[in-house]
Amino acid sequence: MKGGPERYLVNISKNLKRQGHEVFDYSINWNDNAHNQYSDYWPSIKFSNGEFHYNNIENLSIYKLLRLSISSIYNKSIYNNFLYFIKEKKPDIIYLLTFLGKLTPAVLKASKKAQIPIVHRISDYSLICLNSIQHDGEKICEECNKSFLNGIRKKCFRSYLNSSIQYLIRKFLYLSNLHKILIVLFHHPKTQ
């Protein structure tokens, strides 16, 4: 339970199961994730916790940095793994939460190939902002709306290096047109 999206995923999964839906959880197979009966299908990520969350990547070797960067932008093994998973389980719809930098746009490409519709629940501004919060610490920031390069210039994701990786992740998503297959779902909290 790293944050809100993870808590939401667990809660929505429980709720859908209670309503009689069959739910297949899909995530990444690494030590901090809670495992379940579908964990064997999850792709393994061969990074330490600090690397996985882009902490202290300035201290990585060039080889590890390149491997992390490429795996964060697009991961072919995740594509193959997810395509196999959805062909085995045959879901009617894919309900997607966070995917940038971890599962990567590979899950979008696999879903498209299998012709499974995707609903993307947005819990932050990660599709339009390098730091995902559209805030620079003092005020609302919309500089990435003009260009993601502004996010690098402002070191919006901890450093120039981290921000550059985040820039490349989003550029790949938009240049490959994979963002166009998302059906976007916003959840508005009910006021009481």
Q: Between the CA of residue 138 and those of 124, 133, 134, what are the distances in Å?
A: 18, 12, 11
Pairing of β 94-96 and β 182-185:
unpaired
Please provide residue 184's backbone torsions phi and psi, each rounded to the nearest 5 degrees.
Answer: -90, 135
- Are 83 and 114 in contact by the 8 Å Cβ rule? The answer is yes
Tell the burial category of 95 from Cβ atoms under 10 Å away from its Cβ (0-12, 13-18, 19+): middle
Q: What is the pTM of this model?
A: 0.79
Q: Which of 128, 123, 108 is CA-nearest to residue 185?
A: 123
pLDDT digits (tens, 9 = 90+) for 38-81: 878 887 766 554 445 556 666 777 787 777 778 788 888 889 99
pLDDT digits (tens, 9 = 90+) for 81-116: 999 999 999 999 999 887 887 788 899 999 999 999
